[in-house]
Amino acid sequence: MSTTVSPLAPASVPTLPVIAGVRLATAAAGIRYKGRTDVLLALFDEGTTVAGVFTKSKCPSAAVDWCRERLAGGKSSKGGLARALVVNSGNANAFTGKTGKAATKLTADIAARAIKANAGQIFLASTGVIGEPLDATKFNGVLDDLASRAAPESWEEAARAIMTTDTFPKLATKTVKLGKARVTINGIAKGAGMIAPDMATMLSFVFTDAPIAAPALQALLKSGVEDTFNAVTIDGDTSTSDTLLAFATGAAKDAPRISRASDPRLKAFAKAFREVLADLAEQVARDGEGARKLVEVLVEGAVSKASARRVAMSIANSPLVKTAIAGEDANWGRVVMAVGKAGEPADRDKLAIFFNGVRVAYKGMRDPSYDEAEVSALMKQPKITIKAALGLGKGRDRVLTCDLTKEYVAINGDYRS
């Protein structure tokens, strides 16, 4: 957790409204650092439904395995229902073998006793250093204390408790009509490095008082991440711990119960839900480790949306593109390189490249009207938009990233010290 806030941080932290059926509390359990808030407990009223998407890493954390088993309705679980969420920072509990698996069970058992619930309805997430055993005995007493003082207003404290190298807490909210009722969607997230999600983000949790059945919530979540969290990259590295969980308490008065994601009454809610995810995803990009520039990569004229996504990611993950942006250098040749290496259909003589709306390359060469001074001035702006127009079809996509600075190297060179 940095003491220097990213220059790309939002001007203010939003105040999230209360969501009926959700209470939160945080504490310092000494997971890795003494005196630092590192545990979040979220409590849910009975009947709260849950959905989740997780990393596609072949080396997932023990907490990811635990949540997947609970959602699948395995032994000792109540598939699709949740009573609590326990999140710790400082230790990812990943690549920790049988010890890590035992730590998840002990954590869930301690939480279950504290709130008098079934351990199968306890969901877990961990973030931090990979490969170090998590001492779950540190949750003894701490979770009992958190359960006794959990409150419905503690959203900012919850967002801060899950931070690692983040420089600011990430929160978002929307209120929308469902039937004739007003329902609320709140979200928090953490993430600043090891970010190239293939499902969600490092850790993110979304809460609503809407009465939505678990299968419908799962469908909303799965579709919602594709153009939000799945379209963000900081450094091209997919975490072992990526977890996005959504919880629906169903406590909103007079709201219709939704059992199918295709229910037409869910249209406005689904839009607001995606907007919360998009807001959180952009905040992650703005807080990239050492970032000084928010970078939007647009690809259009591709043979398909999927092809456009791969080209956009090739540009966004290129260290040469990202360092050029850090140096405020309009080096469009590096964008040409990234398009060409993507392995997707592209034609050098049809390609056009734009920086912040100014065309710099066209039809296989530098644009005839290119003005180095004009473009260099644009590169000093805090947000840079790179557009690659391929001229081959109607496929288009958008990806968010940030620049790559010396601070990124410093942060990651010192991460375990």
Count Cβ atoms below 10 Å from residue 296 Cβ, excluding itself.
18
Three-state DSSP class for residue 373:
helix
Q: Determine contact, residues 339/315, Cβ cutoff 8 Å.
A: yes
Active-site option among 48, 107, 201, 249 = 201
State the residue for tokens 């204390």.
145
> Distance between CA atoms of 241 and 125, rounded to whole angstroms?
8
- At CA 304, angle to CA 300 and CA 305, rounded to 5? 70
- At CA 230, angle to CA 52 and CA 166, rounded to 5? 85
- CA–CA distances in Å: residue 96 to residues 93, 178, 240, 315: 6, 44, 12, 34
Asked about 4 being catalytic, the answer comes back as no
Does 282 count as an annotated binding residue?
Answer: no
Kindly state the tokens that stand for 415. Answer: 């991460």
> What single string gives the DSSP state of each residue in 36-91?
S--EEEEEE-TT-EEEEEE---SS--HHHHHHHHHHTT-TT--TTB-SEEEEEEEE
Count Cβ atoms below 10 Å from residue 382 Cβ, excluding itself.
11
Return the HEC string of 301-370.
EECCHHHHHHHHHHHHCCHHHHHHHHCCCCCHHHHHHHHHHCCCCCCHHHCEEEECCEEEEECCEECCCC
Kindly state the tokens that stand for 59. Answer: 């080396």
Does 356 count as an annotated binding residue?
Answer: no
Does 417 count as an annotated binding residue?
Answer: yes
Annotated binding site for substrate: 164, 190, 201, 289, 412, 417
Annotated binding site: 164, 190, 201, 289, 412, 417
Instruction: Cite the active site residues.
Output: 201
